């Protein structure tokens, strides 16, 4: 199987990293020659920092990534649109190859989408899975699914895979029912599955999990019914944060690099 580490994937000029001046810098080229980030991506980054750093925000893992400047952020067109699918696929493939060098414990990729048309949770979920299906269709031309996880969204061992590496995805948007997901911009946060496995091996996972659940309940006034450990129930519902009666399937179909049909067109 080809892995992200065995081929060279160049970063795009869409991707920014936080710098030592508490602003953003493009990761491509010589920083002294790079134009300053525009007002849109700067505003998004400011909103992200304010959102995650708030005392009531429950995810301590996200707080760690923010505090360590271990996140990378990029802005795209509408969620599920063809250009967003193509561009985001490339950037996550790059991130899969470079996340361990950014920070092996907390590196995260924040993909933000220009999509004011999202009106409710069902709409966001439909567009999220359109986005992920399109990304997989492109990615599977080159990479097979990470063999450490399942490619079936109803399987308790499911995780999304890009560039041969498994990811857990957190979706946020303005119409989310849970306040911890109610971010002003439609956003997908990609976290490597390996980070959670490393925490389990180190005996840190359960403590972090319990802390997040307690903080989530304190913020929302009730436990999040979707939170579950990997291998217990499928994490697929957690991506959009919208509960479903079981059995449920998002309509996601996996392909392989060795037996691949032409990807569908996405509008």
Note the pLDDT of residue 116. 80
Residue 199 vs residues 4, 192, 214: alpha-carbon distances, Å = 22, 12, 19
- Stretch 225-237: mean pLDDT: 68
- Stretch 226-252: mean pLDDT: 78
Measured in whole angstroms, the distance separating CA 46 from the mean position of its chain's CA atoms is 18
pLDDT of residue 267 exceeding 50, the answer is no
Burial of 164 (0-12, 13-18, 19+ CB in 10 A): buried
Please give the residue that has the higher pLDDT: either 143 or 246: 143
Bridge partners, 169 (sequence order) = 190
Residue 16 vs residues 11, 156, 167: alpha-carbon distances, Å = 10, 34, 20
What band does 36 get if pLDDT is binned at 50, 70 and 90? confident
Please give the residue that has the higher pLDDT: either 33 or 47: 47
Note the pLDDT of residue 171. 96
Note the pLDDT of residue 45. 95
Please give the residue that has the higher pLDDT: either 138 or 38: 138
Note the pLDDT of residue 225. 60
Residue 215 vs residues 12, 73, 209, 212, 224: alpha-carbon distances, Å = 36, 25, 10, 5, 10
Give tens-digit pLDDT for 6-33. Answer: 678 999 999 999 987 778 998 875 455 5
Percent of the chain residues past pLDDT 90, beyond the cut: 57
Q: Where in the chain are the domains?
A: 29-240
List of residues 6+ apart from 234 with CB closer than 8 A: 153, 154, 155, 156, 158
What band does 59 get if pLDDT is binned at 50, 70 and 90? confident
Note the pLDDT of residue 215. 79
Most confident of 2-11, 132-141, 195-204: 132-141
Note the pLDDT of residue 199. 67
Measured in whole angstroms, the distance separating CA 249 from the mean position of its chain's CA atoms is 20
- Residue 187 has φ and ψ, to the nearest 5°, of -145, 140
- Stretch 122-135: mean pLDDT: 97
Residue 83 vs residues 113, 140, 161: alpha-carbon distances, Å = 11, 17, 20
End-to-end CA distance of the chain: 30
Q: How far apart are CA 116 and CA 174, in angstroms?
A: 9
Q: How far apart are CA 50 and CA 112, in angstroms?
A: 15
Number of neighbours of residue 102 by Cβ within 10 angstroms: 19
Query: What's the whole-number average pLDDT of the chain?
Result: 85
- Stretch 179-183: mean pLDDT: 92
């Amino acid at each position: 199987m080809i892995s992200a580490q065995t081929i060279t994937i160049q970063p795009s000029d869409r991707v920014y990293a936080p710098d030592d001046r508490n602003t953003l810098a493009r990761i491509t080229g010589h920083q002294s020659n790079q134009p300053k980030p525009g007002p849109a991506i700067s505003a998004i980054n400011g909103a992200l920092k304010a959102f995650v750093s708030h005392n009531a925000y429950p995810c301590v893992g996200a707080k760690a990534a923010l505090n360590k400047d271990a996140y990378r952020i990029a802005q795209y067109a509408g969620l599920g649109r063809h250009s967003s699918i193509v561009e985001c696929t490339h950037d996550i493939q790059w991130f899969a190859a470079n996340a361990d060098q950014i920070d092996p414990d907390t590196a995260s990729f924040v993909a933000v989408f220009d999509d004011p048309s999202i009106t409710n949770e069902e709409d966001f979920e439909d567009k999220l899975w359109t986005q992920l299906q399109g990304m997989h269709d492109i990615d599977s031309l080159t990479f097979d699914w990470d063999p450490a996880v399942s490619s079936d969204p109803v399987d308790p061992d499911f995780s999304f895979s890009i560039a041969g590496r498994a990811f857990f995805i957190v979706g946020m948007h303005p119409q989310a029912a849970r306040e911890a997901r109610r971010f002003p911009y439609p956003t997908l946060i990609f976290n490597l599955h390996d980070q959670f496995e490393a925490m389990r091996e180190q005996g840190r996972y359960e403590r972090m999990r319990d802390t997040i659940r307690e903080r989530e309940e304190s913020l929302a006034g009730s436990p999040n019914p979707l939170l579950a450990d990997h291998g217990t129930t499928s994490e697929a519902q957690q991506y959009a944060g919208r509960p479903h009666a079981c059995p449920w399937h998002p309509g996601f179909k996996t392909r392989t690099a060795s037996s691949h049909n032409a990807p569908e067109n996405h509008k």
